[in-house]
Amino acid sequence: MTKRTIDSHLSLAILGLLSGRPMSGYDLRKVFMTTALKAFSASPGAIYPALKRLEKAGLVEGAVERKNTLRPRQVFALTRRGRGALIDSLSGPVSREDVIRRMDWLLLRFSFMSGLIGAGPILDFLRTLAEETAGYLEVLEEEFRRSAPGLPFSGRAALEQGVESYRATARWAKKTYGELKRHRQL
């Protein structure tokens, strides 16, 4: 995978949002500024170039609204290829590496899954996420037992925070897996 079609977190977030409804660059900025996606930068220097890249890659298509007025507005929509690329990137596996270094990417993927991929793959995702998270948690806990006695206060406490954070994620993944499974059987 030397050349990814979806090149960054921001691109994934944009495609995910556009899978809901077509939006302009400014609309996207507002979403990033006002919702839980605040974690993303809403800077025009990031969003407009990203949209341009996605358009060039054929994943989104911009339609100019109010062409004749003096304040045109370009509304972007997912193309069929864009939808395909999005689904592909949501469907990929969950690796230990992802859990350690790209948890935010995993959760971003998850957040857009409903409506794009079926309950089966979503359950697979949650199961492997829970497994890999629990697996890494064991590694971290072992490291904590081994090195905590020698660590200064803040180092030890920071490690504890890391452990707590993975514990919370593992719990959440298991709980959500159960909810989805039950819900599907209704």
Q: Which residues bind a second copy (CB under 8 A)?
A: 35-36, 38-39, 41, 100-101, 107-108, 110-115, 122, 140, 143, 147, 152-155, 157-162, 164-165, 167-169, 171-172, 176, 179-180, 183
Give the other-Cβ count within 10 Å of 120's Cβ.
Answer: 9
Stretch binding DNA (CB under 7 A), from 22-30, 81-89, 127-135, 171-179: 22-30
Question: What residue 72 binds from DNA, a second copy, none (CB within 5 to 8 A, per partner kind)?
Answer: DNA
Nearer to a second copy, 74 or 176 (CB): 176
Stretch binding DNA (CB under 7 A), from 50-58, 78-86, 132-140, 168-176: 50-58
Q: How far is the CB of 54 from a second copy (least distance, A)?
A: 21
The runs of H, that is alpha helices, within the chain are: 9-20, 25-34, 44-56, 80-91, 96-101, 103-111, 119-147, 153-185
Q: How far is the CB of 82 from DNA (least distance, A)?
A: 15
Nearer to DNA, 101 or 175 (CB): 101
Is residue 14 within 8 Å of residue 28, measured between CB atoms? yes
Nearer to a second copy, 64 or 161 (CB): 161
Using CA atoms, how far residue 78 sits from 62, 99, 165, 185, in Å, is 9, 28, 35, 32
Is residue 133 within 8 Å of residue 170, measured between CB atoms? yes
Give the other-Cβ count within 10 Å of 95's Cβ.
Answer: 13
Stretch binding DNA (CB under 7 A), from 19-27, 141-149, 157-165, 176-184: 19-27
Interface with DNA, residue 43, by CB under 7 A:
yes
Backbone angles phi, psi at 3, to 5 degrees: -120, 105
Among positions 54-93, residues that touch DNA (CB under 7 A) are 69-74
Query: Strand, helix or coil at 62?
Result: strand
Sheet order of strands, 73-78 included: 23-24, 73-78, 60-65
Q: How far is the CB of 102 from DNA (least distance, A)?
A: 10
Name the token pair of 39: 């974690």
Can you give the binding site for DNA, defined by CB under 7 A? Answer: 2, 4, 7-11, 24-27, 29-30, 41, 43-46, 48-53, 69-74
